[in-house]
Amino acid sequence: MGQIKKRVLLAKMGTDGHDIGLKFIAHVLREAGMEVIYLGPYQTPEKVFNTAVQEWVDVIGISSLSGEYMTFVPILVDLLKRKKLDRTMRIIVGGLIAKEDAGYLRSLGVEHIFHLGATSNEILDGINASGGRERSGEGRSGKGPVRKRGVVRPGAAAVSGKGPPGRSGGRSSVGKKPGRPEERGTK
Amino acid sequence: MKKKTTMGKSSREEYRTWSGIPVKNVYGPKDVENLDYARDLNDPGKFPFTRGIHEDMYRRRAWSTRNLCGLESPLKTNERLKFLIREGQAGIAIVPDTPTQLSVDADHPLVGPQVGTQGVPLYSVRDMDELLQGIDMEAMTFSISVCSAAAPILLAQVCALAKMRGLDLKKIRGSVQNDPIQARHCSYDIDNPFEMCLRLGVDAIEYCVKEMPSWHSVTVNAYDLRESGADSIREMGLALANAIGYIELALERGIDIDSFAHQMLIICSSHIDFFEQVAKIRATRRIWARLMKERFHAKNPNSMRLKIAIHGAGSSLTAQQPINNVIRGTIEALSAVLAGGQALDLSCYDEALCTPTEESAMVALRTQQVILHESGVALVADPLGGSYYVEHLTGQMELKIWDLLKQIDGMGGIIKAVESGWFRKVLEESAVGLYKDIDSGDRKVVGLNIFKIPEDQDNLIKIGKMHLEPGLEHVQRVKEFKQNRDLQRTKKSLKKLYRDALDREKNLMPSIIDAVSSKATIGEINGVLRLSYGRPYDPYEMVELPFAID
């Protein structure tokens, strides 16, 4: 039972601008035949969620080199749960993730955590093994909007496949005024 | 074609430097036969300054030993600075936290978790005052690592503070990076209009010519280009192209080249590829000197003398077996010193994992002090000069950097190359190539893809906590600061700034300084400037300016 092309959204949330690693991952996933929607840095959880739904992705990859993942990943998980999409769209997290935070992230339902030094093969294997659609229709089963191919928001210019993954891609917001995430400390 | 970048294979295989320049087994007189001493090298302190900008180099003045520093709150950072000064640090190097770099205030709903975690919060003139509490601003050089549109605003904070303290601006020495082209691609910049960023950058240049002759208005940031994946050739080529871009904009305003060229610096990376680092720095000095003399017709030798600050490459460090990073830092410091740099800060051994601790910052400083005081390498100017290999490689680097500059000129200059997307594309290609090589093991990194040890045995050195707690107390203090100021005065200064910004011919530095003195914050100033360019006040589009601007 072969899988169809995985659609993966890649983003960083908050103020952390270091995206060289994420750009490389985008390249690796594309080379492996996946469709990549590259949102880049400075996103809000709401923007990531809205784009994930609009593009109907299988996997949301969040990169973080700051401690901000502890604030924003729970908000993102919450948004997915509220729309009952948390089993359909799987979250993976990579970057500078403290070992002591890994358990908490897993308890939220984060499927994979890739620490520094993870190879691209490990990341590919992880994504391939992640939930998401298979040909049987499992996971899609008529729920959710049918993805409209070719309908690309201007903001997500770097969407899928060939376009250069630019930081400007995805800047223009999906949903003009995203709600304010609560201000909280790490944990 | 076989490509090898590291040792351990038979000498018949082809080896290359990290930038891809072929490396032979041995070099001799034939490899430098086109080299003309007077034309290409000359003595240190003489045009084209390949061998260094001073005649007697470090005997006259040692390079400025410093450590990049920025923690939790201005007061905490002040403590660390005083500790480093007590330990013999010669200059102050500050890195602002990410919200400051993005010109977003601490009380913004999105940025709380990052206040003070990766740098020092500098939202207002009070923050700058607390940062420099008890430190004599006229006695220390003071460098602020900020490239984006936040640079002119932080410079304005320095000016406002100096005025508050009754100091003479002409005596204040230091630098901001102020490199908006670079910021757009590899540092912090959210969606600020490019035109606005360039204008502010050149405003700062023009202001410093008149008011702050001892300040460096531009530090072209080659370092972050390197960290974003560029090899040595692109690192220096793109940085020089950016410098040319700013120079041309300043000349268009009628500013004389000899009045500001000496106020420009380059900060570059010292990476692990030892000889290539030495060669690239020597080559860059030579190119700068020739650019100034031949292209921009500078007359003053000071315009042709490029000061280079050097930062040990963060991207060369590994999270695995972090003690090895002390060794990497030593190699990188040595190449920086042998290349004749003017200031050096090393990345700390724990920097791949956390904000440096006091211990790791101390080791980074001690590394430099051992090199300076014990090793004897600083006694002679340009001690590698004349080496067949170093001169050959310097020549190769120069050729390849000139080629890149010509290519950019052919595109109509660096601004056009940015607008067409070429700049971004080139950086991304380099980054992907670099990480592919590491991923495949073609490029060997000890502890990462060779000589690994199991994680639970990786206890060679103690590491601090990976992520610092955010400075939430400071968030509260920013809120209180905003509540307790004379709001009418702040509003008045911001309105004036807005009106001045609409006049595209006006230099905005005086009105930004006035706004800072009137206790306007970095987020408010940037927001008002954005409004004047028709953009939303908040780059995240979550908050509004609390009063009408026009």
With beta carbons less than 8 A apart as the criterion, state whether A68 and B110 touch.
no
Q: Report pLDDT for B503.
A: 97
On chain A, the residues whose CB falls within 8 A of the CB of B112 are 71, 183-185
What integer pLDDT is reported at residue A155 of this predicted model?
Answer: 33
Q: Please, are residues A17 and A65 in contact by the beta-carbon 8 Å criterion?
A: no
pTM above 0.90, yes or no: no
Between chain A and chain B, how many beta carbons pairs sit less than 8 Å apart? Answer: 119
Report CB contact under 8 Å: A14, B110.
yes
CB contacts, 8 Å: B470 with chain A:
67, 185-186
Complete DSSP assignment for B184-240: HHHS---S--HHHHHHHHHHHHHHHHHH-TTEESEEEEHHHHHHTT--HHHHHHHHH
Contact status, residue B17 vs residue B280, Cβ threshold 8 Å: no
Q: Cβ of A117 under 8 Å from any chain B Cβ?
A: yes
Q: How far is CA A67 from its chain centroid?
A: 17
Query: In chain A, which stretches have pLDDT less than 70?
Result: 1-3, 131-187
Tokens, residue B401? 């950097």
DSSP letter for each residue of A82-109: HTT-TTTSEEEEEES--HHHHHHHHHHT
A15 touches chain B (CB under 8 A): yes
Euclidean distance between CA atoms B254 and A62, whole angstroms: 48
pLDDT of residue B12: 52
φ and ψ at A98, to 5 degrees? -65, 140
- Name the residue type at position B318: T
Look at A15 and B466 and tell me if their CB atoms are within 8 Å.
no
Pick B424's closest partner by Cβ from A166, A178, A186.
A166
Residue B453 has what DSSP assignment?
-
Record the tokens describing residue B492, joined without a space: 């008045």
Residues of A in contact with B227 (CB under 8 A): 20
pLDDT recorded at residue A132 = 57
* Residue B159: CB atoms within 10 Å: 26
B193 to chain A: closest CA residue: A168
Give the pLDDT of residue B198. 96
A71 touches chain B (CB under 8 A): yes
Can you point out the beta strands (E) in B271-364?
307-312, 343-345
Interface probe, candidates A15, A105, A115, A119, chain B, greatest B C-beta count within 10 A: A15
Does A50 contact B at CB distance below 8 Å?
no
pLDDT at B548: 87
Q: Contact A164/B118, CB-based, under 8 Å?
A: no
Please state the ipTM of this predicted complex: 0.84
Residue A111 to chain B, least CA–CA distance (Å): 22
The answer to whether the CB atoms of A17 and B109 lie below 8 A apart is no
Which of B181, B324, B540, B544 should we substitute to test contact with A (largest number of A Cβ atoms within 10 Å)? Answer: B540
Return d(Cα B142, Cα B138) in angstroms, integer: 9
Q: What is the pLDDT of residue B13?
A: 64
Shortest Cα distance, chain A CAs vs residue B377, angstroms: 35
d(CA B265, CA B227): 18
Residues B119, B99: contact at Cβ < 8 Å?
no
Q: Suggest the residue from B465, B467, B478 to mutate for an interface test with chain A (most A CBs closer than 10 A).
A: B467
Residue B178, both tokens: 């102020």
The predicted structure's pLDDT at residue A150: 35
Residue A166's closest chain B neighbor by CA? B424
Q: Are A89 and A78 in contact, with CB atoms under 8 Å apart? A: no
Minimal-distance CA residue of chain B relative to A96? B353
Residue of B nearest to A66 (CA): B467
* pLDDT for the residue numbered B185: 85
Given CB atoms, is A163 within the 8 Å cutoff of chain B?
Answer: no
* Distance (Å) from the alpha carbon of B66 to chain A's nearest alpha carbon: 24
Query: B194 burial class (0-12, 13-18, 19+ CB within 10 angstroms)?
Result: middle
What 3-state class would DSSP assign to A114? strand
Q: What residues contact B365, with CB distance under 8 A and at least 6 apart?
A: B65, B67, B84, B87, B88, B89
Question: Helix B232-252 vs helix B388-410: angle between axes, to the nearest 10 degrees?
Answer: 50
Tell me the DSSP string of B238-290.
Answer: HHHHHHHHHHHHHHHTT--HHHHGGGEEEEEEE-S-HHHHHHHHHHHHHHHHH
Nearest by CB to residue A185, choosing from B111, B187, B470, is B470
Q: With contacts defined as CB-CB under 8 Å, which chain B residues touch A15?
A: 98-99, 101-102, 104, 110-111, 114, 188
- Using a CB-CB distance cutoff of 8 angstroms, which residues of chain B are in contact with residue A28? 439
Closest chain A residue by Cα to residue B98? A15
Q: What pLDDT shows up at residue A129?
A: 85
- Residue B423's pLDDT is 94
pLDDT at B175 (0 to 100): 94
Distance CA B182, CA B490 (A): 31
Please name the residue that has the structure tokens 């030993």: B65
Residues 6 or more apart in contact with residue B161 via CB below 8 angstroms? B125, B128, B129, B132, B137
What distance in Å separates the CA atoms of residue B289 and residue B301, rounded to the nearest whole number? 9
Sign of CA dihedral B121, B122, B123, B126: positive
Residues of chain B positioned with their CB less than 8 A from the CB of A14: 110-111, 113-114
Contact between A53 and A2 under an 8 Å Cβ cutoff? The reply is no
8 Å CB contact of A17 and B98: yes
> Alpha-carbon distance B230 to B427, whole Å?
6
- Provide the chain A residues 88-107 that lie in CB contact (below 8 A) with chain B: 96, 98
Residue B392 CB contacts under 8 Å (≥ 6 apart), including other chains:
B27, B31, B32
Amino acid B235: pLDDT: 97
Cross-chain Cβ contact B98/A16 below 8 Å? yes
Whether residue B317 contacts residue B347, with contact meaning beta carbons closer than 8 Å, is answered with yes
Q: How far is A4 from chain B (nearest CA, A)?
A: 26
Residue A131, pLDDT score: 64
Q: Do B112 and A184 touch (CB under 8 A)?
A: yes
Residue A116 contacts B, CB cutoff 8 Å: yes
Determine the 3-state secondary structure of B345 from DSSP: strand
Provide the residue-wise pLDDT of chain B in tens; the chain has 550 residues: 344 444 444 445 689 999 999 999 999 999 999 999 999 999 999 999 999 999 999 998 899 998 889 988 999 999 999 998 998 888 899 999 999 999 999 999 999 889 998 899 999 999 999 999 999 999 988 999 998 899 999 999 999 999 999 999 999 999 999 999 999 887 778 889 999 999 999 999 999 999 999 999 999 999 999 999 899 999 999 999 999 999 999 999 999 999 999 999 999 999 999 999 999 999 999 999 999 999 999 999 999 999 999 999 999 999 899 999 999 999 999 999 999 999 999 999 998 888 788 899 999 999 999 999 999 999 999 999 999 999 999 999 999 999 999 999 999 999 999 999 999 999 989 988 888 898 888 899 999 999 999 888 887 777 777 777 888 899 999 999 999 999 999 999 999 999 999 999 999 999 999 999 999 999 999 999 999 999 999 999 999 998 888 7
- Residue of A15, A116, A164 lying closest to B319 (CB–CB): A116
What whole-number distance in Å separates Cα of residue B265 and Cα of residue A106? 47
> Shortest CA distance to B217 belongs to which of B250, B252, B183, B251?
B250
Asked if A67 lies within 8 A of B117 by C-beta distance, the reply is yes
- For chain A, strand residue ranges (E) read 7-13, 35-43, 59-64, 90-95, 112-114
pLDDT in tens, B459-502: 777 777 777 788 889 999 999 999 999 999 999 999 999 999 99
Residue B242 to residue B231: CA distance in whole angstroms: 16
The reply to whether residue A165 touches residue B320, judged by beta carbons under 8 angstroms, is no
Residue from A12, A19, A20, A122 whose CB has the most chain B CBs within 10 Å, to mutate: A20
A16–chain B Cβ distance below 8 A for any pair: yes
Answer whether the bond into residue B539 is a cis peptide, omega within 30°.
no
Tell me, yes or no, if A125 comes closer than 8 A to chain B by beta carbon: no
Check CB contact of A63 with chain B, cutoff 8 Å: no
Spacing of C-alpha B372 from chain mean position: 23
